[in-house]
Amino acid sequence: MKTNMRYSKLLKELLLELSAENIIKLINYLLGKSYPRDSGVLKLKTGQYMLFLVGNDIYRIEIGIDIKEISFRIYQHSFSIVPQNVNAVDFNELKLELDFPKLTVLYLRTNDKTPSEMTTRLNLPDGDFVTVKTQVKYLKDYAVQELTDVSMLAFAPFYPFIYENESLKSSQELDKLTTDSLLIVNKIKEKAFTGEIEQSAAELIIKSLKGILKDVLVKVKADPERVDEIMRGVENK
């Protein structure tokens, strides 16, 4: 639970650092939308989570690690923020119309139990019910080149999770993870230099990538000396 909350908080911090234009690029690429790049984006901060209001559409993008925990958490917190999105009120008849956010979960870890879709049935007091679907994405489906594109940079720090279920004790796998991590760092610096992303966002992405990289290397019990060597290489970039 604490690990999930830690990474959810990190994603919120990353999204806060991105410009409205880059948020639109993220929504368009990740969710297959086609909003104009100059579309206005309203960021709604709610505790450790973030909502985006684009026109009349409300989006919530979340990362998942533990399946049961994320299934409960995304709906618990989405309901807590629904009352903030009242778009039609008739006080004479005591009627409210509430907008529920469009939910998307990007799973950092996957196995044979990771769902390909999430559906929740909401049973209402009058016996009626509503079915709410959550769009599911997998981090492993995105190549390192995609994560270095401006539209997906918010997820670049989580890239080392792709290797977490593999044997990182082999020199070949460690070398590839190191090369890919260095590529991400270099690309982020380039985009900050050219003004494609904010400098503050670039610094946070690189710092977060280094922390997650070390966490993954330690978890898979890679050779401590090799871990130190890899981290020194990344730190010096």
Model pLDDT for residues 189-232, shown as the tens digit of each residue: 999 999 998 899 999 999 999 888 888 887 777 666 777 777 77
Residue 12 binned pLDDT confidence (cut-offs 50, 70, 90) = confident
* Closest listed residue to residue 157, CA positions, set 179, 135, 185, 196: 185
Per DSSP, 181 falls in state H
Exposed (0-12), middle (13-18) or buried (19+): which is 121, by Cβ within 10 Å?
exposed
Q: How confident is the model at residue 69 (pLDDT cuts 50, 70, 90)?
A: low
Give the predicted TM-score (pTM) of the model: 0.81
Q: Residues 132-164: pLDDT tens digits?
A: 788 888 998 999 999 989 889 899 999 998 887
Closest CA to 64 of 121, 171, 139, 129: 139
Residues 6 or more apart whose Cβ sits within 8 Å of residue 172:
none
Q: What tokens does 225 get?
A: 């000396």
Which 8-state DSSP code applies to residue 193?
A: H
* Partners of residue 88 on adjacent β-strands: 97
Q: What is the mean pLDDT of residues 10-29?
A: 90
Residue 164 token pair? 């977490």
Q: For the purposes of burial, counting CB atoms within 10 Å of the CB of 167, is it exposed (0-12), middle (13-18) or buried (19 or more)? A: exposed
Distance CA 117, CA 209 (A): 28
